Structure 1
Amino acid sequence: MPEENRNIFLMDTACNPTPKFRVCWARQNPERQVWFLLTSDRIEDNTGLSSTLLHQYANLQVVTADLDDMFRDTPLLGFFNERKWTKSWKVELLANMLRVLVLWWWGGVYSDTDIISVRTLTLPENSVGFESSGKLGNAFFIFQARHPVLYYLMKDMPRHFEPNRWGCIGPHAITRVMKEICGDRMEKKIQRQPVICPGNITIFPHSTFYPVHYSEFEYYFLPGEGNKFNEKFSMAFALHFWNKLSKNYLVKANNNSLYEVAAKRFCPTTYRFATAESGVF
């Protein structure tokens, strides 16, 4: 079982038996337990990557989600059982709910799998960050187990669910909730430094978790930009590679892009497997 508030949670909610195991969090944070949560009931280890990673990192666990158990006794149970969320973007909407639930029950860090940890976590226990102007991100956040904001989020999601609006229970939800807590002017309080809001919640500027805006995601893949890595990301704890937009990009090995530098430096085992039989990854 997870140790309360000492966890890092990753997940694949697409019932995929061969997810992309970007588990650099385990390497960067050996004192924390890293849980890779699957909605698939099996793992296909055709390449040997998952078994290699599990052997290499003693703090890594790959587990299957018991959805009925996770939703029990929470404000999301009725919404989950109604299944209105399955009509559009059901993978993303399920992920938006589960990331709040894992922190509600066990506490710690939630991270999307297209985020790479670039330094050991030394952040406050309740932290979120701006993704862009006026909007907080939910691809990465930290909360203590059963923090009131998580309960507030679970109450907010069904009330503001719009089946045709992507992100309605994701980034828009956490932004709505934090604006109520911190006030509408919370963004103006943040320049380069984080601020603390009621509930002992620290809000960070976009440079901390989302240093490259989604509209500029191609910058990560430009050849030759890797030499600027340390300079560009001196204030970042994590890098979000916007897989929704970048998933079809093929990166040539040894092209010295920012993406390749991050992969080599922080996820060396996954990078080695990805480039073992191909010049692109």
Structure 2
Amino acid sequence: MLPIDTFPEFARHSAKTEINNPLDKPERAKPLAGKLQPSWARQNPSSSVWYLMTSSHVDNSDAFPSRLLRANGNLRFASVDAGEIFRGTALQELFESADWFFHSDFPAVVLSDLLRVALVWRLGGFYCDTDTVCLKDTGHLRNVASYAQQDIGKISNFCFHFRAHHRFLDTLMEVQKENFQFLKKKNKLTLMPSMPLFLHNS
């Protein structure tokens, strides 16, 4: 296992792990080869690029993570305390209820969908899924959201930038909370998987 950083301001509090994150088990750490796209670090040399996870370990058995770190000086692996990120947001009650865990076929996906919005709301920055490729520096982008080509007119949550405490993210968290309750009643909490990568301009 590869030791990883704790994300500034929202480091893991191990005493809370079992309460706050029932998904967090050391054995869940898996190889990252083929999942983490280093193009974001390479194309954004002036940004700190954080690969964020709720697990406290990275599987380094294939040495892929350590090679990535050596090759990309601005890339970091970091563990976050989800409870601290959700604290004081519109999503805190939903997270602490653990409904996202007990009423979903894909709880890690639901948690990721909620966590990315709360994280960017709190700190500001650029979020993207790791199964994307960056072709140019995105450091100049501000308060933007992506969309899938087949769904023009509908925003997507796979890639976006907003300043901290942006009103749009306040609204989005309220919508997420309402949508979760609606989908829970319909028993349709089956979303497509995604993985978190966070760019923070220093």
Q: TM-score, normalised by structure 1?
A: 0.52
Q: 1:137 to 1:160 in 2, by over 3 A?
A: same
Decide whether the 8 Å contact of 1:2 with 1:106 is kept in 2. Answer: no
Decide whether the 8 Å contact of 1:17 with 1:41 is kept in 2. Answer: no
1:95 aligns with 2:115: no
User: Greater Rg, structure 1 or structure 2?
Assistant: 1
State which of 47, 61, 69 in structure 2 corresponds to 1:46: 61
Q: 1:147 to 1:243 in 2, by over 3 A?
A: closer
- 1:110 is paired with a residue whose SS is strand
Decide whether the 8 Å contact of 2:31 with 2:58 is kept in 1. Answer: yes
> What is the root-mean-square deviation in Å for CA atoms of aligned residues?
2.4
State which of 124, 129, 150 in structure 1 corresponds to 2:169: 150
- Cα deviation, 1:113-137, whole Å, max 9, x if unaligned, reads 1111011115531001221144221
State the match for 1:73 in structure 2.
88
Runs of 4+ displaced beyond 4 Å: none
1:117 aligns with 2:134: yes
Q: Distance in 1 between matches of 2:46 and 2:140?
A: 14
1:104 aligns with 2:117: no
Q: 1:54 to 1:104 in 2, by over 3 A?
A: same
- Cα deviation, 1:210-231, whole Å, max 9, x if unaligned, reads xxxxxxxxxxxxxxxxxxxxxx
Question: Which blocks of at least 5 consecutive residues in structure 2 are unaligned?
Answer: 1-6, 10-22, 195-202
- Cα deviation, 1:31-81, whole Å, max 9, x if unaligned, reads 000000012221121121111111221111101121111111111110111
Q: Distance in 2 between matches of 1:109 and 1:49?
A: 24
How far off its partner does 1:111 sit?
A: 0.4
Identity %: 31
- Cα deviation, 1:222-256, whole Å, max 9, x if unaligned, reads xxxxxxxxxxxxxxxxxxxx978xxxxxxxxxxxx
Question: Which blocks of at least 5 consecutive residues in structure 1 are unaligned?
Answer: 4-12, 168-241, 245-281
- 1:117 is paired with a residue whose SS is coil
State the match for 1:33 in structure 2.
48
Q: Distance in 1 between matches of 2:193 and 2:131?
A: 6
Q: Distance in 2 between matches of 1:136 and 1:119?
A: 21
Decide whether the 8 Å contact of 2:94 with 2:177 is kept in 1. Answer: yes
- When the two structures are aligned, how many residues end up with a matched partner? 161
